[in-house]
Amino acid sequence: MPTLLLDRKSVKTLMTMADVISVVEEAFRMCGEGKGKMPAKVYLSVERGDFRAMPAALPGCAGMKWVNVHPGNPSLGLPSVMAVLIYSDPETGYPLAIMDATEITAYRTGAAAAIASKYLARRSPHTMGVIGAGYQAYTQILAHAELFNPISINAFDISKAAVGRLGRSLPQLSVKSCSVQEAAASDIVCTLTPSRSPVVKREWIMPGTHINAVGADAPGKQELEPSILKEAIVVVDDLTQASHSGEINVPIEKGLYSTSEVYGTLVEVIVGKKKGRTDSRAITVFDSTGIAVEDIAVAKLLFEKAQQAGGYPSIDLVG
Amino acid sequence: MPTLLLDRKSVKTLMTMADVISVVEEAFRMCGEGKGKMPAKVYLSVERGDFRAMPAALPGCAGMKWVNVHPGNPSLGLPSVMAVLIYSDPETGYPLAIMDATEITAYRTGAAAAIASKYLARRSPHTMGVIGAGYQAYTQILAHAELFNPISINAFDISKAAVGRLGRSLPQLSVKSCSVQEAAASDIVCTLTPSRSPVVKREWIMPGTHINAVGADAPGKQELEPSILKEAIVVVDDLTQASHSGEINVPIEKGLYSTSEVYGTLVEVIVGKKKGRTDSRAITVFDSTGIAVEDIAVAKLLFEKAQQAGGYPSIDLVG
């Protein structure tokens, strides 16, 4: 029996953001119904970075993402984050496919934030601000454009060239280069930087704003002034991960914020255990750290699409 | 940059038991010197079995083994246990290779037990008993024959045919089919069954015997009468894993044995923190559950050999 091999280019060809949003939301819903299994991420620290093993199972699929974070990589011409996913048959354990998960990670993170915006932002948002114009800005915009159309984009980055590249990568959308204040004054704000101190001030945020805080993914990282969290309705994807390495980690560490102030999880909001937005003037924050069921749901989609399409390489790996 | 692909046949071709013993013992030694990193295994349970993610790093190498245990597989013509290993560059996180780890698991388990025998068995053992004549018996014998030569093998299995197959797979060695009592009366005894109740009685074990208890790898499994453990010097590979799923797990669960009775770890014995055998009449037991540094050490060996040999397939997976 062969193990399918899907490289980064194949993954990108097989994946559409609309599909990713659909399967990720369905995965969240299944988790809410107790049908998802997801032990805590394991960290393996090495001198120059770390690795994370992220196993998960959903009905009909199981697997594990192995992802590294090596901040010094760009100076060597490599991405900081690379990921490989082993997609397994839950019935037998057979490794059905091995695929690049670098693109999966980028797409599912965009999708999860857009889903959060769907439940937490005001109806009919007109503007989306992105702070940090790297590749994650591309997938965030792609995902939000699927759910909110038309929407105009206010993009800020400390590198003007990055904003230019972002605009050129999305020719179908209006991407306006602006100041960080202007980006923060949008209906939906996505923070996508590797910052270790707040880049968004409370005074810039308008009543009714929804913020997707995506950049903080390790202890010590933060992007928002803690006063924003204190005032906002804060929704997390996973409370343990968020407390350890999400946007709330630094304020918790400094004693400025407590996990008891977190409103709930995105899954709880999606399945209706917790209400989404009820006050049009409230500030809402989704603290996204990324959870393994998102990856497995997308891997299932890709495996099925690749099987249907045929022609992808495979190897008799464990046979 | 390509990711090397090593299928099961390639792995088997590249691997010799002598090399595996050498790198596994070196890995143990490095762990004893604080140079190994190995977070706890993570379990993902599914309806028909489970998966384990086993990450580890040693100087110059890192990676993760993803291994399943699906007891019903043989009825479907598949092995119960299959494993895939992602071998990563610790400096950058790049996935250098993806390899079958089913053979690695079998070989390193044999190697670890033979290393335990080297430190714990009496000098110059003449006979080795194997109880359970499946594939693990093959690698156990292969490993012991590297370190103890000449040695004659007493093999027992509930299936006579299995013993016959085992003998034919090792034509260079003397493999005698015998009763379980005779196998247990050998100088070194390896228990390699999936049993859930004791198959080896205390009264069959001679003074001075060393036992490698390998079969128990999940809660509820056991192969030895608990009185053997009570009397023996018990050495484990990993105390947490052994208590959870090794030979000692059932006696602990039943209140017949306590972790405080464990003498130490194999690593402690190898680096001399604990003495090995001091009394020629003592019974010693190595409770083997399998640890991730063993796999990573073998993966490094295979990667380097494959690179040196050249000609193995590769894929530009994350590029």
Q: Which of B44, B300, B312 to mutate to test the interface with A (most CBs of A within 10 A)?
A: B44
- Do B100 and B225 fall within a single domain? no
- Taking the alpha carbons at both ends of chain A, their separation in whole angstroms is 7
pLDDT exceeds 80 at position A1: no
pLDDT digits 0-9 by tens, A37-75:
999 889 999 999 999 999 999 999 999 999 999 989 999
pLDDT exceeds 80 at position A251: yes
CATH number reported for the structural domain that contains residue A159 in this entry: 3.40.50.720
Range of the domain at B9: 3-104+292-315
- Do B184 and B277 fall within a single domain? yes
Specify if B202 maps to a domain. Answer: yes
Query: What is the number of other CB atoms lying within 10 angstroms of the CB of residue B75?
Result: 7
- Do B99 and B153 fall within a single domain? no
- Do B158 and B40 fall within a single domain? no
- Do A200 and A279 fall within a single domain? yes
pLDDT at B46: 96
pLDDT digits 0-9 by tens, A191-247:
999 999 999 999 999 999 999 999 998 899 999 999 999 999 999 999 999 999 999
- Do B243 and B299 fall within a single domain? no
- Do A148 and A268 fall within a single domain? yes
CATH number reported for the structural domain that contains residue B298 in this entry: 3.30.1780.10
* Residue ranges with strand state E in chain A: 3-6, 42-46, 49-58, 61-69, 81-88, 95-100, 127-131, 152-156, 175-177, 188-191, 210-213, 233-236, 264-265, 284-287, 314-315
Q: In the structure, what pLDDT confidence band is assigned to residue B71 with cuts at 50, 70 and 90?
A: confident
- Do B210 and B256 fall within a single domain? yes
CA distance A218 to chain B (A): 16
Specify if B111 maps to a domain. Answer: no
Q: In the structure, what pLDDT confidence band is assigned to residue A319 with cuts at 50, 70 and 90?
A: confident
Q: In the structure, what pLDDT confidence band is assigned to residue B129 with cuts at 50, 70 and 90?
A: very high
Q: In the structure, what pLDDT confidence band is assigned to residue B141 with cuts at 50, 70 and 90?
A: very high
CA distance B291 to chain A (A): 15
pLDDT at B1: 77
Q: Is A308 exposed, middle or buried (0-12, 13-18, 19+ CB in 10 A)?
A: exposed
d(CA B108, CA B91): 25
Q: Is A66 in contact with B88 (Cβ distance < 8 A)?
A: yes
pLDDT exceeds 90 at position B294: yes
- Do A175 and A63 fall within a single domain? no
- Give A127's DSSP letter: E
User: Among candidates A210, A51, A205, which has minimal Cα distance to B57?
Assistant: A51
- Do A98 and A195 fall within a single domain? no
Q: In the structure, what pLDDT confidence band is assigned to residue B12 with cuts at 50, 70 and 90?
A: very high
The percentage of chain A sitting over the pLDDT mark of 90, rounded to a whole number, equals 96
| Token pair listed for B139 | 């690698």
Say if CB B68 and CB B49 are below 8 A apart.
yes
Specify if A21 maps to a domain. Answer: yes
Specify if B302 maps to a domain. Answer: yes
pLDDT digits 0-9 by tens, A94-109:
999 999 999 999 999 9
d(CA B280, CA A251): 61
- Do B132 and B276 fall within a single domain? yes
Say how many domains are in chain B.
Answer: 2
pLDDT digits 0-9 by tens, B163-201:
999 999 999 999 999 999 999 999 999 999 999 999 999
Q: Which of A5, A35, A68 to mutate to test the interface with B (most CBs of B within 10 A)?
A: A68
Specify if A109 maps to a domain. Answer: no
Average of per-residue pLDDT values in chain B? 96
pLDDT exceeds 80 at position A147: yes
- Do B161 and B242 fall within a single domain? yes
User: Among candidates A138, A129, A152, which has minimal Cα distance to A106?
Assistant: A138
Say if CB B177 and CB B167 are below 8 A apart.
yes
